[in-house]
Amino acid sequence: MTEFIATFYSQYGAVQFLKHAKQHQIPCRLAPVPRSLSSSCGTCAHYSHHEWDTGFVMRDLETVYRSSEGGYEVVHHGT
């Protein structure tokens, strides 16, 4: 599995993502956004999955990053 970080436009979006992950048995935890990344609400979700797309559809999803040894790679940028 790959490690991802999702950022959100609101705290509500982060909490909704956590609920979605739990319902789909995706390992996930909420945490402050790393300093090297930027986010509107300051909260991110760290999760492990086969791919970045977990089926979560919500406008509050800002950006999804793939974690790597060299840092973070943008894999999805919301609208």
Q: Say how many domains are in the chain.
A: 1
Does residue 42 lie within any of the structural domains? no
DSSP code at position 52: S
Closest CA to 7 of 42, 36, 35: 42
Residue 13 lies in domain: 1-36
Say how far apart CA 23 and CA 69 lie, in whole Å.
29
Does residue 51 lie within any of the structural domains? no
Q: Are 45 and 73 in contact (CB under 8 A)?
A: no
Q: Which residue has the tokens 């490690």?
A: 3
Does residue 60 lie within any of the structural domains? no
Tens-place pLDDT, residues 3-18: 999 999 999 999 999 9
Full-model pTM: 0.89
Residue 53: pLDDT band (50, 70, 90) is confident
Q: Which residues contact 69 (CB under 8 A, 6 or more apart)?
A: none
Mean pLDDT of the chain: 90
Does residue 64 lie within any of the structural domains? no
